[in-house]
Amino acid sequence: DAGVIQSPRHEVTEMGQEVTLRCKPISGHDYLFWYRQTMMRGLELLIYFNNNVPIDDSGMPEDRFSAKMPNASFSTLKIQPSEPRDSAVYFCASSRQALVSEAFFGQGTRLTVV
Amino acid sequence: DAKTTQPPSMDCAEGRAANLPCNHSTISGNEYVYWYRQIHSQGPQYIIHGLKNNETNEMASLIITEDRKSSTLILPHATLRDTAVYYCIVRAHSGNTPLVFGKGTRLSVIA
């Protein structure tokens, strides 16, 4: 298996533009997690899904952020409009279920908003 | 909020054992101790987990004290590639409980 695949790896955009980050989880995994990492705040959980249904989005910073999982093999995290403070590395992770030991992380998307 | 306390940084000589401590004094009976690491510019990687017994796998050993209030991750023969941030995470094995990361320990393996 190729692991969790995120795209793009790097994104530079201007303030006010819409940004869409993409994630393909490992096949057969029924949990998907979105995290954000900054120097100041470390790794923060934004939202997670179980069987394509959002379970907890309390970590989503504000209404400018939205996430969808239209099917078991694809998820998006959208920021509209983007702001410089959204600059961070965004990680997607998947696991078979939350009770199992291992969550597999993607390589991340480094977002820079100028 | 993270339920663990770890030293912010540690050094270890290459080839020696790296012993990374973690305090989790408020751990409850149904909570496991997990360790992940994050090598620079990569996503976090699972290392090991345990409940109350010591555990060992091909990457590391996990020693949990009898009262379960602290644990130590042991990398038996550290290499330069083990330089990373190591996260100790307490997580329940019931319901939907995603990983909550604290600040971790930055381990530097020195040649």
Pairwise CB contact (< 8 Å): A107 & B43: yes
- The string of pLDDT tens digits covering residues B38-48 is 999 899 999 99
Closest residue, chain B, to A56 (C-alpha) = B96
How much is the pLDDT for B109? 98
Pairwise CB contact (< 8 Å): B101 & A55: no
What is the spatial distance between Cα B68 and Cα B24, in angstroms, rounded to a whole number? 8
How much is the pLDDT for B63? 98
Nearest to B100 among A45, A99, A107 (CB): A45
What is the spatial distance between Cα A29 and Cα A25, in angstroms, rounded to a whole number? 7
Q: Is the pLDDT of residue A1 over 80?
A: no
Pairwise CB contact (< 8 Å): A99 & B98: no
Closest residue, chain A, to B90 (C-alpha) = A101
End-to-end CA distance of chain A: 36
Q: Is A86 helix (H, G, I), strand (E, B) or coil?
A: helix
pLDDT confidence tier of residue A99, bands split at 50, 70 and 90:
low
How much is the pLDDT for A13? 97
Q: What percent of chain A has pLDDT over 70?
A: 96
Q: Is the pLDDT of residue A113 over 60?
A: yes
Q: Rounded mean pLDDT of A12-26?
A: 97
How much is the pLDDT for A73? 96
Q: Dihedral of the CA atoms B36, A50, B93, B69 (nearest 10)?
A: 40
Q: Rounded mean pLDDT of A65-77?
A: 97
pLDDT < 70 positions in chain B? 1-2, 94-96
Please state the separation of Cα A74 from the chain's center in Å.
Answer: 11
Q: Is A54 helix (H, G, I), strand (E, B) or coil?
A: strand
What is the spatial distance between Cα B35 and Cα B42, in angstroms, rounded to a whole number? 16
Query: How, if at all, do strands A10-13 and A109-113 pair?
Result: parallel
Pairwise CB contact (< 8 Å): A108 & B42: yes
How much is the pLDDT for B10? 98
How much is the pLDDT for B91? 87
pLDDT confidence tier of residue A100, bands split at 50, 70 and 90:
low
Q: What percent of chain B has pLDDT over 70?
A: 95
- To which residue do tokens 């040649």 refer? B111
pLDDT confidence tier of residue A36, bands split at 50, 70 and 90:
very high
- The string of pLDDT tens digits covering residues B1-19 is 568 999 999 999 999 999 9
How much is the pLDDT for A98? 54
Sorted by sequence, the CB contacts under 8 Å of residue B104 that are 6+ apart come out as A42, B6, B38, B85, B86, B87, B88
DSSP per residue over B30-46, as a string? Answer: TEEEEEEEE-TTS--EE
